[in-house]
Amino acid sequence: MNFKIPRGTQDILPEQSLKWQYIEQKAHELCRRYNYKEIRTPMFEQTELFARGVGDTTDIVQKEMYTFEDRGGRSLTLRPEGTASTVRSYVENKMFGWVNQPIKLYYIGPMFRYERPQSGRMRQFVQFGVEAMGSDDPAIDAEVIGLAMDFYRELGLSNLKLVINSLGDQESRTNHRKAMIKHFEPRIAEFCQDCQNRIQKNPLRILDCKVDRDHELMGTSPSILEFLNETSKTYFDNVQTYLNDMGISYVVDPTLVRGLDYYNNTAFEIMIEGKGFGAITTLSGGGRYNGLVEEIGGPTTPGIGFALSIERLIMALESQGIALPLEEGLDAFLIVLGENPKARAPKLLHDLRTNGITVDTDYLGKKMKGQMKAADRVNARYAIILGEDELNTNQIVLKSLLTGEQDTIPMEEVVGSLVTKLKEEKKGESS
């Protein structure tokens, strides 16, 4: 039997995983600058958490969850996103009572959605997301958007388009909802079954329908922006003022509704423009979810966050030909020629490595030429050559593979000498 990887998943092979490590490191470093702290929650949760949190009229809950019963008969679901789990943990750990408020958290981890796989749409993908809970200040909306934009910018991406909208507060939404029902109801029979089910439960969701997206009523549906009350309007104006002050450009799109039910007020997506990116152009999305903490059983608490997938980010980097500055090469490669030198290799390698030097050697009994080739292939800066002659005189040859220069030095000095040379070279390169 030939085993195959499950549809919509991928192996991240060593060459790619270097990119992942670099990107994840960037995310940790950026969050540190913005003072968001990492949270790690389980990969599965009670199914009910997502039904309530994400919303049971959403595609995610209706069609895309990996739900299973465990041996104790509990219904569990592989998390399709990170916000519901983060809020569950916030409530369960009573973070609303912690001294430093608001609570600013971030996560990096796999999410699971049973979607039709295509480029940029996976069944297992990794999200980097942030959530800020406990503040209703529009400045924090701008901060979250700014963090997302900074992340892409610092990785070198260009041609990004930030799209924002306001979904309003409860009152604005209720009025908009009535208008939406009035707009769609007379002709709802022309829409798909999902939309017909959604019209009373959550008519806003109709705008998110992939089947009927070209129906003429879609383009003429009442805009939420016309239904914003004064509070929501002022809030949205303030978010925009902050974005303007920060020099972040954006477009307001009143049809942006997002695919999850928990949003109110600010909603946003970051898209990539330009050729070569395929059909899926949304890189990340987020927004405010002021009712979610309460929905999950906590006290009334405002919240805002966003998430992006690293898979789509890497696609975007590749489509723009951006090479990340990855450190792939080794400091040294130990070349051993003969039985006695080979016996000395493990100790020498261990000494080098415990002194911070990245080094490898040959384990296949290759000849000198083959070992030199291997040193080249791993991009080693130095070859450390240990042959029978050197061993007899307790010496070693240190050859720079960049300049070809070589020195013969006493065996006990090799670690110190290499550490000094590498330090000097790296200093020279960074100045």
Q: Which of residues 339-398 bind ligand HAM (CB under 6 A)?
A: none
Q: What does DSSP say about strands 359-361 and 332-337: parallel, antiparallel, or unpaired? A: parallel
Binding flag, residue 285, ligand HAM (CB under 6 A): yes
Nearest CB to ligand HAM, comparing residues 287 and 341: 287
Binding flag, residue 266, ligand HAM (CB under 6 A): no
Nearest CB to ligand HAM, comparing residues 315 and 385: 315
Binding flag, residue 425, ligand HAM (CB under 6 A): no
Binding flag, residue 23, ligand HAM (CB under 6 A): no
Q: Which of 52, 79, 113, 215 binds ligand HAM (CB under 6 A)?
A: 113
* Residue in the shown chain whose Cβ atom is closest to ligand HAM: 305
Binding flag, residue 286, ligand HAM (CB under 6 A): yes
Neighbours of 369 (CB within 10 A): 8
Q: Which of residues 80-99 bind ligand HAM (CB under 6 A)?
A: 81-83
Q: Which of 284, 301, 361, 395 binds ligand HAM (CB under 6 A)?
A: 284
Q: Which of residues 26-85 bind ligand HAM (CB under 6 A)?
A: 81-83
Binding flag, residue 129, ligand HAM (CB under 6 A): yes
Number of residues interacting with ligand HAM: please give it, by CB under 6 A: 27
Which residues are CB-contacts of 10 (< 8 A; sequence separation ≥ 6)? 122, 124, 311
Enclosing H/E stretch for 160: strand 160-166
Q: CB-side exposure of 381: number of CA atoms within 13 Å?
A: 16
DSSP 387-412: EHHHHHTTEEEEEETTT--EEEEEGG
The CA-atom distances, in angstroms, between 385 and each of 49, 248, 302, 394, 424 are: 61, 55, 63, 12, 21
* Nearest CA-CA partner of 376 in 359, 406, 401: 401
Bin 343: left if φ > 0, else alpha if -120 < ψ < 50, else beta: alpha
Q: Which of 23, 39, 103, 122 binds ligand HAM (CB under 6 A)?
A: 122
Are 45 and 88 in contact, with CB atoms under 8 Å apart?
yes
Binding flag, residue 136, ligand HAM (CB under 6 A): no
What does the per-residue mask of binding to ligand HAM show for 233-262, with x meaning CB under 6 A? --------------------------xx--
Quick one: the chain helix, strand, coil %, rounded to 5? Answer: 45, 20, 35
Burial letters 162-198, b for 16+ CB under 10 A, else e: bbbbbbbbeebbebbbebbeebbeeebeebeebbeeb
Peptide bond into 6 cis (omega under 30): no
Q: Which of 305, 381, 386, 415 binds ligand HAM (CB under 6 A)?
A: 305
Nearest CB to ligand HAM, comparing residues 82 and 341: 82
Gap between the Cα atoms of 407 and 399, Å rounded = 6
Are 384 and 396 in contact, with CB atoms under 8 Å apart?
yes
Nearest CB to ligand HAM, comparing residues 115 and 253: 115
Binding flag, residue 312, ligand HAM (CB under 6 A): yes
Q: Tell me which stretch binds ligand HAM (CB under 6 A): 102-110, 123-131, 319-327, 415-423.
A: 123-131
Q: Tell me which stretch binds ligand HAM (CB under 6 A): 173-181, 279-287, 352-360, 378-386.
A: 279-287
Q: Which of 194, 311, 362, 390 binds ligand HAM (CB under 6 A)?
A: 311
Binding site for ligand HAM (CB under 6 A): 81-83, 113, 115, 120-122, 125, 127, 129, 131, 259-260, 282-287, 305-309, 311-312
